[in-house]
Amino acid sequence: MSIINVKDLSKTFKKPVREEGLRGMVKALFSRKYDEVRAVDGISFDIEEGEIVGYIGANGAGKSTTIKMMCGILHPTGGSVTVGGLDFEKNRQKINKQMGVVFGQKTQLWWDIPLIETFKILKSIYEVSDEDYEERFNYLCDLLDMRPFLTQTVRSLSLGQRMRADFAAALIHSPKIVYLDEPTIGLDVLVKDKIRGAIKELNKKYNITVILTTHDMKDIEELCNRIIIIDKGKILYDGSLANIKYRFGNTKTVFIPSNVSLDEGELKERFGSIELEDQGERWALKFSQSDVDLDDMLLYLINTYHIKDFKIEDISIEDITKQLYEKH
């Protein structure tokens, strides 16, 4: 059953046209010229209950603007968002009770007081019964290992502790939907794993619907069964992760130092469809694993050029969106 329905959603921001410098700023005071920036441009999709959806795109693609409209922070310029059949115009508070939101770059916790107090006030705000609160609070404390810092003030927490606390705060009222806007940004591997593990467990145990924006491909791979890719406010792809991986996920890039004198002709002759790029301090060798065997190529590079230092990267979300955009 569809729990979120997004239909022809768009958001336009009006920005005053300003020339550069102080003179430009002064002129803009007397000008009525505006540029219209269409951050989200008529997108539509449905999200089913219990889905974990990765909402991805490059910086400035319109991800956060969409999420902010989906959780009621921004009012759409056009189109609609309904949650469980309700719209924000008349039912914002009802919808808010059903959802939890984590912004990786903005905390929702009370900054100057012990963390435990934030949970107490959230209990009152969301009208959680004593029994439900105890059960949920203890469960989240154990799941996210929060007990050691419950009595510390929020400002004294490390980023990892704060993110775990923000995550728990978004879930204390047992929401049906959780929006996670870059929840693992800036976190170390251990905390990332803990957050991902918690998302998986909550989805499995409570059938929570999760909408996740991230730049971390591992978040997507570990959590999402569906992804929506957005660029310049439009949806470029909406489908399974398996499909997009099939189309792009096999692309790898091997970086080697620029002091190695590569023979481009020979490399192309040997490995076929390989792209070679001189990036100044390093060479980037881009290829699809369907055409080139990674082990073969590394062996060849080590034996032929005696390289001692190299780095392998998967295709980035930015590259996928770029390639998708070029195809459209």
Partner 1 sequence: MRYLKLYSTYAKLSLMSKLVYKVNAIIGVIAFLFTEATSLLTLYILVSSVPSIDGYSIYHIGFLFGLTNMAVGIDHLLTDRLWTVAYFEVKLGKLDHMFLRPLPVLFQVIASEVQLEALGELIIAAALLILCGSQLTFTGGVGAVLLVILGIICAAVIITSFKIMVASLAFKFKRSGPLLQFIYGFSGYTKYPMKIYPKIIQAILTFVIPLGLCLYYPFENLFAPMENAPLIALAMVGFTAVFSAICIFVWNKLVKMYESTGT
Positions touching partner 1 (CB under 8 A) are 13, 60, 64, 68, 71-75, 92-94, 96-97, 99, 101, 103, 105-106, 108, 110-113, 117, 120-121, 124-127, 153, 181-182
Nearer to partner 1, 41 or 182 (CB): 182
Neighbours of 309 (CB within 10 A): 9
Find the shortest distance in angstroms from Cβ 214 to partner 1.
12
Nearer to partner 1, 16 or 24 (CB): 16
| Backbone torsions φ then ψ of 109, nearest 5 degrees | -90, 155
Nearer to partner 1, 67 or 297 (CB): 67
Find the shortest distance in angstroms from Cβ 280 to partner 1.
30
- For residue 100, with 0-12 CB atoms within 10 Å meaning exposed, 13-18 middle and 19 or more buried, which class applies? buried
What's the Cα-to-Cα distance from 244 to each of 221, 251, 313, rounded to whole Å? Answer: 11, 11, 17
Find the shortest distance in angstroms from Cβ 96 to partner 1.
4
Helix axes 159-171, 115-125, angle to 10 degrees: 20
Instruction: Name the residue type at position 139.
Output: Y
Distance (Å, rounded) from C-alpha 287 to C-alpha 293?
9
Find the shortest distance in angstroms from Cβ 89 to partner 1.
9
Nearer to partner 1, 61 or 315 (CB): 61
For residue 315, the 8-state DSSP code is: P
For residue 245, the 8-state DSSP code is: I
Give the alpha-carbon dihedral of 53, 54, 60, 65, to 10 degrees.
20
Asked whether 121 and 172 are in contact (CB, 8 A), the reply is no
Nearer to partner 1, 55 or 283 (CB): 55
Find the shortest distance in angstroms from Cβ 175 to partner 1.
10
Nearer to partner 1, 96 or 209 (CB): 96
Find the shortest distance in angstroms from Cβ 121 to partner 1.
5
